[in-house]
Structure 1
Amino acid sequence: MSRADQERWDARHTAVSASGEQACLPPDALRGRLELLPAGGRALELACGRGAVAVWLAQRGFAVDAVDVSGAGLEAAAALATRSGAGDRVRLVAADLDDGIPASCPGPYDVVVCQRFRDPRLYDAMAARLAPGGLLVVTVLSAAGDEPGPFRAAPGELAAAFGAIAGLQIVSHDEGNGAASLIARRR
C-alpha cells in the first residue's frame, strides 16, 4: 500500500472516531448465520480497521489477532477493545497486507475474517491459516450488480477462487448489489 493510501485510511479512521461511539458487530457474511461460528478458539481478522469485528469475536471467547495498516484504525480498535472489556483477548498487529499476512500470524485459526479488503494474492494464505474445521468469512466489494472497478471482485470470483482450494468446502456464497460474501470451512 502506498503511503498516501495509509494516510487516507488514517484520516478516515480519525474522522470516524471523532464522530462518536462505535458498536461491535459480526462480519457481514455471518449475519443471520451465527450458528456457523465455532464456540471459541483463535481468530484472525485481516484489514480490521477500527476493530468492530475483532472485538465482537473477542466478546464471544476468541483470542483475536487483528491486522491493519492504519495506526489510527488500530488506536480506535484498542480503545474499543478496552471499553468492551476485551482488551486482553485482542492482539493488534500493524502490517501492510500488500506484503502478505504477517509472519507473526501463522495460525492455525478457528476463524479467519476479511471484510471490505480484497487482494486475490492472499486467498491461498487465508485458507492455509485455517485449523481443521475452521471457518473462513470473506466479504468484498463486487462488480455483481454494480460497476466494475479496481477494488471490486468480478462476479463469481470468490466462489471460483476458494472453491479451487483443496480442503475447503463452501458453505455459503452470495453476491449482488455491489458486494460478494463467502463462508467456507476447512475439512
Structure 2
Amino acid sequence: MADTDRVRWDDKYAGRPSGPPALPAVFTGYTDAIPMTGHALDVACGAGSAAVWLAERGLTVWGVDVSAVAIEQARELADRHAVSDRCRFSVADLDHGLPPGPPVEMILCHRFRDPRLYPAMVDRLTPGGLLAISVLSEAGSQPGFFRAAAGELDVAFADLQALAAGEGDGQAWLLARVKGDRR
C-alpha cells in the first residue's frame, strides 16, 4: 500500500473514537456459528471492535491493519475490556499478503476486499474453520474499484460449505466453513 494510503487511513482513525466491542452487524444473526475457543484472525481489523468482541467470546485473536493509529486504538480497547491477554494487534500491509502464521479456527474480514488474499484465507483455516467475510459490492450499487462483482464471493469460496450469504444494497457477505471435521 502506498504511504499516502496509510496516511489516509491513519487520518481517518485519528478523528474517530473507537466504538464498543461488536460483531459486524451483518453477522449478528449467526453468533451460534462462531467458535468460542481457538484462534481467530481479524483481517483489516480497524480499531478492533470485532476482535475484542471475539476475545470476549473466548477466542484468542490476532488483528492486523495497515493503520498504526487503528492498531493503537484496538490495543486500548482490548485493555479497557480486560482481554489484552487474548488479543494481539499488528500493523500489516495486506498488499503483501496475509502475515504468516498458524492455522486458525476463524477468519473475520469486514469491509476489506483483496481477491488475491482469498486463497490464503482458505488455506489459513483449520478443518471446519469458519470464514466470515463482507465486502462492498456492485450488487445494488454502482460499480467501483473496491466493489466486488455480483457473485464474486460465491465463486471465490465455492469449495467451502456456505452457512449463510447475502448480496445487495452495495454489500456482499458470506459465512462459510471449511469442509471437514470440526476441531
Which residue is equivalent to 1:80?
Answer: 77
Equivalence for 1:133: 128
2-structure distance, mates of 1:159, 1:48? 23
The match for 1:24 is: 21
CA distance in 1, matches of 2:25, 2:115: 19
State whether residues 138 and 149 of structure 2, in contact with CA within 8 Å, keep that contact through their aligned partners in structure 1.
yes
TM superposition score normalised by structure 1: 0.93
Query: Is the aligned partner of 1:71 residue 2:68?
Result: yes
- Gapped runs of 5+ residues in structure 2? none
Contact 1:141–1:179 (CA under 8 A) maintained in structure 2: yes
Q: Which residue of 2 aligns with 1:34?
A: 31
> What is the aligned partner in structure 2 of residue 101 from structure 1?
98
Distance 1:29 1:171 in 2: 13
Q: Tell me the alpha carbon deviations over residues 78-116 of structure 1, each in whole angstroms, 9 at most, x when there is no partner.
A: 01000011111111111100000012xx23111101011
Cα deviation, residue 31, structure 1: 1.2
Alignment RMSD (CA, Å): 1.0
Counterpart of 1:27, as a letter, is P
Runs of 4+ in 1 over 4 A off after TM superposition: none
Asked whether the 8 Å contact 1:29–1:138 carries over to 2, the reply is no
Query: Are 1:56 and 2:53 counterparts?
Result: yes
Distance 1:27 1:124 in 2: 23
What's the counterpart of residue 163 of structure 2?
171
The amino acid of 1:4's aligned partner reads T
Q: Is the CA contact (8 Å cut-off) linking 2:35 and 2:59 kept in structure 1?
A: no
Kept in 2: contact 1:135–1:183 (CA 8 A): yes
Alpha carbons 1:111, 1:130 under 8 Å: kept: yes
Contact 2:162–2:176 under 8 Å retained in 1: yes
Contact 1:29 1:182 in 2 (8 A): no
C-alpha distance in structure 2 between counterparts of 1:22 and 1:3, whole Å: 26
Structure 1 position 27, deviation (Å): 2.9
Q: Which residue of 2 aligns with 1:6?
A: 6
TM-score (norm 2): 0.95
SS at match of 2:127: strand
SS in structure 2 of the partner of residue 170 of structure 1: strand
1:70–1:94 contact (8 Å) kept in structure 2: yes
Partner of 2:153: 158
Q: Report the counterpart of residue 143 of structure 1 in structure 2.
A: 138
Counterpart pick for 2:176 among 142, 159, 184? 184
Runs of 5+ in structure 1 lacking a partner?
none
Identical-residue share of aligned pairs (%): 47
> 1: CA distance between counterparts of 2:138 and 2:7?
26
Equivalent-residue separation in structure 2 for 1:124 and 1:171 (angstroms): 19
| d(CA) in 2 for partners of 1:28, 1:96 | 26
* Alpha-carbon distance between aligned partners in 1 of 2:166 and 2:70, rounded to the nearest angstrom: 28
